[in-house]
């Protein structure tokens, strides 16, 4: 099947004539949706977003319209909108392109969404490492303010909203919405427990707050442009719109591709766009959407229900590119940042690399995650350093099982899922590696032979 | 601690934009670090006073976020991404090469005070892995083969500029 891109969010990105200034954005229809939508009532806009069936693009895939409908207006407290631009999920780099190359699209999306939910103030929480991105957004906001798209009395509508660009400082956990809120309050980014701290009821300063991903807010602009029902026709039922797939790792052409949801398969994406594995190699494993999602081993088969309702079987490469299909295969498309690994990859080292990441990023609030992620790192690193024991295989799985579901936020699952999927799926590799190490140690008076660590190459 | 007029003006403009003063914390700490090179004990106390919180409430933030540091570093801060996508494409070799060519041990500052080389976690540029950040700039596709040239250019560039007076 031939696969084609359908660029909606990325329509102008990387086009040679396109620049980040407001004049250029307006030349290509920029802020027209804002003009059009400010003639309508906020409630109508919320209904459009509900009709669109849009699912959030930050990884969890929660329906955006439903999230907005949870807002507690009765409390009479001010409403806040936060754009989550703390893109930190390894493998994901889609929001970076929007921020650096089309900032006004994001700002239009933020103002539209703020108007729809009647927000008093909006924030863009951008990760601290994106120094340039924050400067680009600041400048874009000033340009938009000069033309009355941001600030007081926007386009004479009587509605006012300011946007504050707020920089994070290198914490993965700030991507978690309640951690982000704590961080924005000037504290350590310790995620809050739900209930009672559902952001739509008790968010920033204990006021009703909506936190949406950069891409989600850009999608809102296009929903309001074409109408929710029209938008819902893009893609497949249950997952409307496009997904921006970022592919990285062992692939000939890493890059980002915007594809209509469900149109095309993993094979189409990684062979036709990605150019397949490096010459002379073959794919061994794929992590579908940011490293927290469960890994897929090329060669495994999934019993699934096909769109027409009949039973079927898919290999990893046959999975259609929509959220429902990945869910049927026991994983998730997450942030749609796909990492490919070829047959030269040591899967134990790959897991150790991720365990080091989660141990570093655990906020330390919940014991299972704080202690567990550190032990996972220590054990897998020891195996990489030649000190593996057969019982480590079950131990890693066991620790992961005791983290997932026992923490305040989803970082527990994020740290556990890679172990819970890697260990059973690649058990043969673990056993082979550890057996060789045990033999080597016998010949060397118990001293570990290899000290390769988690270098991967 | 003597903050520049520019930083002081920035901080005074910034704080009233937030509904609560304390929210300006990270932004002020970024501004101080940019101005001073690191966040001193004095800076923590100054920030606490500005935001009407206790010094420990600033200190716990400084120690939580990896980007904030409490000691000076080299003139150029070299940050090599080590997370999966970059590691699969040779980030560890890139780091070896940078350490060797910049005469700087990982996590330390070179003897001439010019470079600090560190590993960082994913910086969200996986499609152009391996990536290296130098100060506030991202450098993409720094493969192990390109790393020695990259280091040489960085050295020449750094030697050509005068160290800022704050050091």
pLDDT in the model for residue B165: 46
> What is the pLDDT averaged over residues B76-88?
97
Q: In this predicted structure, what is the pLDDT of residue B166?
A: 46
Report residue A113: phi and psi, to 5°. -70, -40
Task: With beta carbons under 8 A apart, name residues in chain B contacting A99.
Answer: none
* pTM for this prediction: 0.96
Q: Which residues of A touch B121 (CB under 8 A)?
A: 88, 90, 170, 172, 357, 360-361
What dihedral do alpha carbons B139, B65, B85, A256 form, nearest 10°? -70
Which of A88, A171, A456 is closest, CB to CB, to B88? Answer: A456
- Average of pLDDT values for A321-347? 96
Chain A residues lying within 8 Å of B126, measured CB to CB: 90-93, 246, 248-249, 254, 337, 339
Contact between A361 and B121 using a beta-carbon 8 Å cutoff:
yes
Q: In this predicted structure, what is the pLDDT of residue B161? A: 82
User: Nearest C-alpha of chain A: how many angstroms from B32?
Assistant: 13
**Who contacts B146 (Cβ-Cβ below 8 Å, separation ≥6)?**
none
pLDDT tens for residues A248-290? 999 999 999 999 999 999 999 999 999 999 999 999 999 998 9
* Mean pLDDT value across residues A69-93: 97
The predicted structure's pLDDT at residue A454: 85
Q: Residue A194: what are its φ and ψ, rounded to 5°?
A: -115, 130
Give the closest-approach CA distance of A142 to chain B in angstroms.
14
pLDDT score of A214: 98
Mean pLDDT, residues A291-298: 96
Nearest to B129 by CA among B144, B148, B143: B143
How confident is the model at residue B167, as a pLDDT? 42
State residue B162's pLDDT score: 67
Question: Which secondary structure element, helix H or strand E, spans residue A320, and what is its range?
Answer: none
Bridge partners (DSSP) of residue A209 are A80
Confidence of residue B147 (pLDDT cuts 50, 70, 90): very high
CB contact under 8 A, A121 and B29: no
Question: A39: which residues sit within 8 A by CB, 6+ positions away?
Answer: none
Cβ atoms of residues A245 and A321 within 8 Å = yes
Task: Give the one of A96, A168, A291 whose C-beta lies nearest to B26's C-beta.
Answer: A168
Determine, for residues B85 and A166 on separate chains, whether the beta-carbon distance falls below 8 Å: no
Task: Evaluate the CA torsion angle B58, B61, B67, B73 in order and state its sign.
Answer: positive
Residue A457: pLDDT band (50, 70, 90) is confident
A347-443 domain in CATH 1.10.1040.10?
no
pLDDT at A8: 96
Q: What per-residue confidence (pLDDT) applies to B164?
A: 57
Q: Do B19 and A250 touch (CB under 8 A)?
A: no
The pLDDT value recorded for residue A450 is: 67
The pLDDT value given to residue A444:
84
B-contacting residues in A 349-378 (Cβ below 8 Å)? 350, 353-354, 356-357, 360-361, 363
A22-233 fold: Rossmann fold (3.40.50)
Q: Which of residues 84-143 of A touch B (CB under 8 A)?
A: 87-93, 95-96, 121, 127-132
d(CA A72, CA A80): 11
Q: Is residue A452 pLDDT above 90, yes or no? A: no
The answer on pLDDT for B130 being more than 80 is: yes
Question: What is the rounded average pLDDT of the residues A390-414?
Answer: 97
Residues 377-436 of A with CB under 8 A from B: none
Q: How close, in Å, is residue A121 to chain B by CA atoms?
A: 9
Question: Residues of B with CB below 8 A from A172's CB?
Answer: 121-122
pLDDT tens readout for residues A203-249: 999 999 999 999 999 999 999 999 999 999 999 999 999 999 999 99
What is B5-64's CATH number, 3.40.50.1390, 3.30.1780.10, 1.10.10.1590, 3.10.20.30?
A: 1.10.10.1590
Does B87 sit within 8 Å of A246, measured CB to CB? Answer: no
Coil/strand/helix, residue A84: strand
What is the pLDDT averaged over residues A93-104? 97
A426 touches A352 (CB < 8 A)? no
Peptide bond into A320 cis (omega under 30): no
Residue B131 C-alpha, separation from nearest chain A C-alpha, in angstroms? 12
A295: tokens are: 């890994």
The pLDDT value recorded for residue A100 is: 98
How far CA A31 is from CA of A34, A296, B51, B103, B166, in Å, comes to: 5, 42, 37, 51, 44
- Whole-number mean pLDDT of chain A? 96
CATH architecture of the domain with range A244-342: Roll (3.10)
Name the minimum distance, in Å, from the CA of A51 to any CA of chain B. Answer: 32
**Superfamily, domain B76-160:** Glutaredoxin (3.40.30.10)
With residue A32 as reference, give the H or E element that holds it: helix A32-37
Count of alpha carbons within 13 angstroms of residue A241, beta-carbon side: 32
> CB of A162 within 8 Å of any CB in chain B?
yes
Question: Chain B partners of A13 at a C-beta cutoff of 8 Å?
Answer: none
pLDDT band at A445 (very low <50, low <70, confident <90, very high): confident
Whether residue A71 is predicted with pLDDT greater than 60 in this model: the reply is yes
* B28-34 own/partner pairs: CB under 8 Å, 24+ apart: B29/A169, B29/B58, B29/B61, B29/B62, B29/B68, B30/A128, B30/A167, B30/A169, B30/B67, B31/B7, B32/B3, B32/B7, B33/B67, B33/B68, B33/B69, B34/B7
Minimal CA separation from A381 to chain B, in Å: 14
Confirm whether B5-64 and B76-160 share one CATH topology. no
**Is A249 part of the contact surface with chain B (CB cutoff 8 Å)?**
yes
Q: Using alpha carbons, list the distances in angstroms from residue A453 to A20, A97, B46.
A: 43, 33, 43
Shortest distance between the Cα of A110 and any Cα of chain B, in A, equals 18
Q: Do B126 and A337 touch (CB under 8 A)?
A: yes
- Residue B163 pLDDT exceeds 70: no
pLDDT class of A451 with cuts at 50, 70, 90 = confident
Question: Is pLDDT of B9 > 80?
Answer: yes
The band of B158, judged by pLDDT with boundaries at 50, 70 and 90, is very high
Give the residue extent of every domain in chain B.
Answer: 5-64, 76-160
The structural domains of chain A, with segments of one domain joined by +, span 22-233, 244-342, 347-443
Q: Which residue does chain B place closest to A190, by CA atoms?
A: B64
Q: Select the residue of A130, A250, A360 nearest B121 (Cβ to Cβ).
A: A360
% of chain A surpassing 90 pLDDT: 95
**Cβ contacts of A185 on chain B, cutoff 8 Å:** 20, 22-23
Chain segment B84-114, per-residue pLDDT in tens: 999 999 999 999 999 999 999 999 999 999 9
Backbone phi, then psi, for A142, in 5-degree steps? Answer: -65, -40
**pLDDT confidence of residue A40:** 97
Residue A431 has pLDDT above 60, yes or no: yes
Q: In this complex, how many residue pairs, one in chain A and one in chain B, have their CB atoms less than 8 Å apart?
A: 160
pLDDT in tens, A29-46: 999 999 999 999 999 999
Question: Is A1 a residue whose pLDDT tops 50?
Answer: yes
Residue A183 confidence (pLDDT) above 60: yes
Separation of alpha carbons A428 and A421, rounded Å: 13
Shortest CA gap B5–chain A (Å): 20
For residue A47, name the pLDDT band (cuts at 50, 70, 90): very high
Rounded Cα gap, residues A172 and B65, in angstroms: 10
Q: Is A251 on the interface with B (CB under 8 A)?
A: no
Select from A89, A90, A175 the residue whose CB has the most chain B CBs within 10 Å, as the one to mutate to test that interface.
A90
Distance between CA atoms of residues B9 and B3, nearest Å: 10
Q: Is the pLDDT of residue A449 over 80?
A: no
């Amino acid at each position: 099947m031939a696969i084609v891109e359908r660029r909606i969010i990325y329509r102008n990105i990387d086009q040679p004539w396109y620049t980040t200034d407001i004049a250029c954005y307006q030349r290509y229809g920029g802020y027209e949706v804002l003009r059009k939508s400010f003639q309508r009532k906020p409630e109508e806009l919320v209904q459009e977003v509900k009709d669109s069936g849009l699912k959030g693009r930050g990884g969890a895939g929660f329906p955006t319209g439903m999230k907005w409908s949870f807002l507690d207006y009765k409390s009479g407290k001010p409403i806040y909108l936060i754009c989550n631009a703390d893109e930190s999920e390894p493998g994901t780099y889609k929001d970076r392109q929007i921020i650096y190359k089309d900032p006004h699209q994001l700002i239009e999306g933020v103002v539209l969404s703020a108007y729809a939910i009647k927000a008093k103030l909006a924030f863009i929480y951008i990760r601290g490492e994106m120094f340039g991105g924050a400067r680009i957004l600041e400048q874009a906001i000033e340009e938009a303010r000069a033309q009355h798209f941001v600030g007081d009395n926007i386009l004479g509508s009587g509605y006012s909203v300011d946007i504050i660009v707020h920089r994070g400082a290198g914490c993965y956990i700030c991507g978690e919405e309640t951690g982000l809120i704590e961080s924005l309050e000037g504290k350590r980014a310790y995620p809050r427990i739900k209930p009672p701290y559902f952001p739509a009821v008790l968010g920033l300063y204990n006021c009703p707050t909506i936190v949406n991903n950069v891409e989600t807010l850009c999608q809102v602009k296009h929903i309001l442009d074409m109408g929710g029902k029209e938008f819902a026709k893009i893609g497949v039922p249950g997952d409307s719109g496009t997904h921006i797939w970022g592919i990285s790792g062992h692939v000939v052409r890493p890059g980002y591709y915007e594809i209509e949801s469900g149109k095309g398969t993993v094979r189409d994406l990684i062979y036709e766009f990605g150019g397949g594995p490096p010459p002379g190699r073959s794919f061994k494993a794929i992590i579908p959407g940011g490293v927290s999602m469960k890994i897929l081993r090329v060669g495994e088969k999934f019993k699934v229900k096909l769109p027409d309702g009949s039973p079927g079987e898919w290999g990893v490469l046959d999975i259609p590119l929509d959220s429902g299909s990945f869910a049927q295969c026991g994983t998730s498309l997450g942030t749609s940042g796909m990492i490919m690994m070829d047959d030269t990859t040591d899967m134990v080292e790959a897991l150790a690399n991720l365990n080091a990441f989660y141990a570093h990023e655990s906020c330390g609030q919940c014991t299972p995650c704080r202690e567990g992620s550190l032990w996972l790192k220590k054990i897998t690193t020891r195996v990489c350093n030649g000190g593996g024991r057969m019982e480590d295989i079950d131990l890693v799985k066991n620790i992961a099982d005791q983290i997932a579901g026992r923490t305040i936020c989803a970082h527990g699952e994020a740290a556990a899922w890679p172990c819970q999927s890697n260990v059973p799926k690649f058990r043969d590799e673990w056993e082979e590696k550890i057996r060789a190490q045990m033999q080597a140690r016998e010949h060397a008076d118990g001293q570990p032979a290899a000290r390769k660590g988690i270098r991967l190459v | 601690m003597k903050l520049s007029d520019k930083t002081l003006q920035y901080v005074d403009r910034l704080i009233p934009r937030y509904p609560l003063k304390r929210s300006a914390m990270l932004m002020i700490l970024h501004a101080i670090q940019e101005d001073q090179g690191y966040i001193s004990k004095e800076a923590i106390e100054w920030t606490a006073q500005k935001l009407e919180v206790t010094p420990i409430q600033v200190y716990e933030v400084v120690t939580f976020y990896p980007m904030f540091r409490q000691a000076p570093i080299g003139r150029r801060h070299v940050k090599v991404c080590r997370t999966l996508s970059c590691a699969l494409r040779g980030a560890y070799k890139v780091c070896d090469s940078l350490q060797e060519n910049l005469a700087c041990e990982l996590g330390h500052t070179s003897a001439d005070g010019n470079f600090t080389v560190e590993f960082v976690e994913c910086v969200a540029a996986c499609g152009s892995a391996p990536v290296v950040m130098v100060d506030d700039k991202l450098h993409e596709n720094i493969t192990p083969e390109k790393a020695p040239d990259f280091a040489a250019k960085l050295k020449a560039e750094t030697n050509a500029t005068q160290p800022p007076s704050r050091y």
